[in-house]
Structure 1
Amino acid sequence: MVGSVATDFTGQSIRPPAILKMSTRMAITISKASKARPLGLMHIQCRVKPGVNKNREGVSSLTADAVELNVAAPPREGEANKAVIRVMSEALNIPKSEIVISSGLKSRDKTIEISPSTLGLSEAQNKDQWPALVKDILIKHIAQST
């Protein structure tokens, strides 16, 4: 039925929470392997809020479609991009040199690339579980930051 409203056992209408909205993209994806990159690349979608107070800098939340970051650097001359790399390096505990912003250099929505081997992931693990493992690392980082 179009326009019908679901009800609970008491007859009260139930509205689905906003969190149930489906995303058109996923926060963390894995690209196909190649000869140059036998494990492929991990792509992490980031939504960046530049120019925040230095005390609020870091990974602020993790949604279904993006890792939300606060950076103190202003969005000019690549300063915020450098801060994104630094914040993600600290959150994932990997060297800054292993993180590349592959798209969104002039946008708040960015895609960063990381080699799975940098995170200690290997072919022995199920590739389908890699995004969940990275999410766990980020969730632990958020919990430690608060």
Structure 2
Amino acid sequence: MKTWLSCKDSVIRLTLHVQPGAKKTDLAGEHGGALKLRLAAPPVEGKANAMLLAWLAERFEVPKRDVVLLSGDKSRHKIVEIKLALDEAAVLACLGL
């Protein structure tokens, strides 16, 4: 199991290292026990967080209300929870890993 991923009780929890202000939004491998994600949004006024949640909702094909930022509102290190019952292999497939 990946250290940045937890699948339990119909909830997926991801530990992310987010790099805002990138040219395009994409995954960039692992970084310090977290999944690194480059975001094409500036880190101002919550724009990067909004883009992160929208991107994850689109990837996992769930409504935005089912993707919640648990911690890291003003940090690059974030923990996100997605209300969806998937196993690790399905999560990795959704992320394209």
Deviations 1:11-68 (A, max 9, x none): xxxxxxxxxxxxxx8111135xxxxxxx253211111110112xx22x3234383232
- The gaps in structure 1 that reach 5 residues or longer are 1-24, 32-38, 122-129, 141-146
- The answer for unaligned runs of 5 or more in structure 2 is none
Distance 2:16 2:5 in 1: 9
| Match for residue 4 of structure 2 among 27, 31, 41 | 27
TM-score by length of 2: 0.81
Q: Which of 86, 91, 97 is residue 134 of structure 1 equivalent to? A: 91
Q: 2:18 aligns with which of 48, 53, 57?
A: 48
Q: How far off is 1:91 after superposition?
A: 1.9
1:131 CA displacement: 2.0
Higher strand share: 2
Match of 1:76 in 2: 44
Residue number in structure 1 paired with 2:61: 93
Question: How many aligned positions are there?
Answer: 95
Q: Quick one: which amino acid aligns to residue 38 of structure 2? A: N
Give the percent of matched residue pairs that are identical in Structure 1 and Structure 2: 31
8 A contact 1:71–1:80 mirrored in 2: yes
Answer 1 or 2: higher relative contact order, Cα 8 Å, separation at least 6: 2
Deviations, residues 72-107 of structure 1 (Å, cap 9, x unaligned)? 221122111001101112222222111000011111
> Residue type of the partner of 1:63?
E
Paired letter, 1:28: L
Q: Greater helix share, 1 or 2?
A: 1
State TM-score, norm by structure 1.
0.56
